Chains A and B, each alone.
Chain A
Amino acid sequence: MNIALRDAQPAFSPQVRFEGAPFLAAPKVQAPAPDAGAAFAFQGVRKAFGPKAVLHGLDLTVPAGAFVAVIGKSGCGKSTLLRLLTGLDAPTSGAIAFEASGAKDPARLTRVMFQEPRLLPWARVVANVEVGLSHLRSKAERRRTALSLLADVGLADRADEWPSVLSGGQRQRVALARALASRPRILALDEPLGALDALTRIEMQQLLERIWLQQGFTAVLVTHDVAEAVALADRVVLVEEGRIALDLEIPLPRPRRRGSPELARLEGVILEKLLGSAA
């Protein structure tokens, strides 16, 4: 067992109270590699920018391989939560613990995908994917791996094009291939489909679900689309006033049918909570 700890205090603070943490294994449709995902836990995480606190002691425990959707109003701290999870920012207080058996490189534990694809315009599509493969020594191996990742997202034939000639959805798929390149245990997604049109969105959701089922990483998807959240996630958490205001299991089998009454009911529950608190 391998415990990584990211927190606000010095590394040897007495906060390491995590041996034998009671992480549950997430139920899964197929079984990819058993250690493909990592579990993590936010423990009383507070994050403030100057005097303004964004997260007030947030607790969230996510088992390995789960698919969690995070929703909440604009500015409630969803992106902040992901930046803390991926180590782009440090919590003001509290700790974030990871449990990833057999993980070697903590820098490759998590990867993040943003609303913008953030591709290098001056690098060919395949070279953009290779950005995620810097851990591979051999150039030939990097290219081979990048090409197979592109095939996974259905873009094998676009490998030698410039990103500027791709459509928005295709660029996001390249970004997904790049994020998955180093086989992260946790994939954080910050409204990655927010800028896409409705049809492309649904295609991308299906692609995301398929790849998640194949690879078994832990997925944390921030979205403002409640329908998207219930269609994809095992669990939807609602962030409000810096805390988790709602934590809802979505115990529906996959593949899920969009527009089914069950999904609509759960969507209604969440929307009611979202809007109810606004009134």
Chain B
Amino acid sequence: MSDSSANKNNSPSKGMTIHLKIWRQARGAAQGKFVDYTVKDIQKEMSFLEMLDILNEDLVRKGEEAIEFDSDCREGICGTCGLVVSGVAHGRHAGTTTCEIRMRHYEDGDTITVEPFRAGPFPIIKDLVVDREAFDRIQRKGGFVSTNVGSAPDGNAILVPKEAADNAMDAATCIGCGACVAACPNASASLFVSAKISQFAWLPQGDPERSRRALAMIGQMDEEGFGDCSNHGECEAVCPKQISIQNIAKMRREFIRAALRG
């Protein structure tokens, strides 16, 4: 049984003091800068974003502007949140999003830097909020099966081997947060795009449009200015859903297959 929950029964854990260096950038400004803040009485069970909420309340009470950051579900599934925490996209804890980080991973007196995801195709909007619409534009080019509502056969008409369904699901768990891009030295979107391409490639329903999809999505990825993949593997390391880099290999095969078929 962990210490943190043991605390609850006896006495509440004593609050920590945490020092934060947070990126602030006005909307439309070309540059931003780190600003130092100190937050007190941080509980181990708090989430990282709840700590930022508390800081924002302090700022507003003092008449200062709150720090803008994106979040929604706060349970690791919507992909809205995304911060670079002490140099690592979504923090150093593997397999979690920023909103899932708990303060129990920190000690009293720690200093944490907080930055937005940085990549050319993800322009900063304000403070920690970035524009990730490039992902939507890629998906528009082929991340779908061209079927209209009303035309579907019975769900069990086409059997799908469990293994194929599981593989498709492994790829489909991508939440589109963009951490892979932020972590990549080349700002490549290969992990994101390959997860989409693989999901459909594993399923018979995706088969008819396989070639067109791979060419169109990869084409758009290049157009958006994302870099090439040179197998650093940083993307897989930070991916909160632990999407495998093997998808990128599969995407390459899909691309070659499509190119050969013309």
Query: Do A and B come together as binding partners?
Result: no
